[in-house]
Amino acid sequence: MDSRERVALTLAHQEADRIPIDYWATPEVNAGLLKHFGVSSLEQVLQHFDVDFRYIEGPQYIGPPLTIRPDGSKEDHFGVPRRSVSFGQGPKGGTYSEVTEYPLEKAATVEEIEAYPKWPKPEWFDYKCIREQARQARATGKVVVFMGDRLNRCAQLKPAMYVRGVEQILVDMMIEPEIASAVFRKIADFYAEYARRTLEAAEGDIDIFFTGDDFGTQDNLFMSVDLWRKLLRGGFKRFVEIGHAYGCKIAHHSCGCVYPLIGDLIECGLDILNPLQPDTTQMDYTKIKRDFGGRIAFHGAISIQKTMPYGTPDDVRREVRDRAEKLGPRGGYIFCTAHNMQADTPLENVVALFEAYKKSGAYR
């Protein structure tokens, strides 16, 4: 059975030959695996691990030159300044991009939100490259996914946190909903057209359209379900409908405890929910599978907060077996870590993870 057949059966809530496998990791982990296996490309690692998915890079930015500020921070296409921050040392070190200022944090009216001069435009991106990206990914025989990184992944709340500030946009949702609505509308309008142009350029060669927006914390949602329905549901459903119009299955990534929203996500048409983050409250996989397993597929659920960085290979194997037993029956589950494996993850745990996927994920 090939990857496309395997995933199609899984998403139809049927058991294939095995549970499909996906791979998420930081560049530091990728580099460590290239060295470990003595290979020169990530594709060789993915083939070695028998990964069923291939992600395309997405559109290329061709818009106005991005501003570099005197402190060295560089504005992204939302006008949000970021700087590179280093952490750790040696093979356990790396870099990440940190926001240095929220450009709309002080805006006090809807008119100020609307007048912000740096809202991005879909035409700032070149979509012609998508055709070749999708064609090459399709040629691998794997399932083709468009997700993008944290700046070009279709979302609403996360970009709002970048432009308005984490605390301020959450306050807006409670006491200034008109301002919150204006911010979300500007963001959703951009991403909806960005997604439409991307999927159109692929000419049918994208199988899964992966959106991403963090609605949850370790303990609960960032907002009440009613506020989500009032302010975010419309844009979320809009993204789902665009993907379905182009023949894609729709996946959504949200960190944190999102159990209270799963029913709403299903009603909006979502096909795949990632990551069912472990180490948060309400992540009872037996209950989640019982309550929702016939209506939505699940992707992820392997801990990058505890098991992968701090556990032993045997801990990794036990966790994989647990997920297979609780989420795997009757299909509808895809193996993956709950987010990118980080630089502090021992390579022996990564290797044990993919060996366990094959062993514990076999249906027959």
Note the pLDDT tens digit of each residue in 47-65: 999 999 999 999 999 999 9
136 band by pLDDT with thresholds 50, 70 and 90: very high
Query: Is the pLDDT score of 91 beyond 90?
Result: no
Q: Express as a percent the part of the chain with pLDDT over 90.
A: 94
Peptide bond into 275 cis (omega under 30): yes
**29: its two tokens:** 């982990």
C-alpha span between 44 and 230 (Å, rounded): 46
Q: Report the CATH fold assignment for 3-60+108-360.
A: TIM Barrel (3.20.20)
Q: Express as a percent the part of the chain with pLDDT over 70.
A: 100
How confident is the prediction for the chain on average, in pLDDT?
96
Strand partners, 316: none
Domain map (residue ranges) of the chain: 3-60+108-360
Query: Is the pLDDT score of 147 beyond 90?
Result: yes
Q: Taking residues 319-328, report their average pLDDT.
A: 98
C-alpha span between 84 and 96 (Å, rounded): 6
Q: Give the neighbor-by-neighbor strand order of the sheet with 94-99.
A: 74-75, 81-87, 94-99
Say what the pLDDT of residue 89 is.
79
Q: pLDDT digits over 11-60, tens only?
A: 999 999 999 999 999 999 999 999 999 999 999 999 999 999 999 999 99
285 band by pLDDT with thresholds 50, 70 and 90: very high
C-alpha span between 125 and 73 (Å, rounded): 22
201 band by pLDDT with thresholds 50, 70 and 90: very high
Query: Is the pLDDT score of 148 beyond 90?
Result: no
Cα-based distances in Å from 293 to 1, 64, 285, 330:
23, 45, 10, 9
Q: Taking residues 226-230, report their average pLDDT.
A: 98
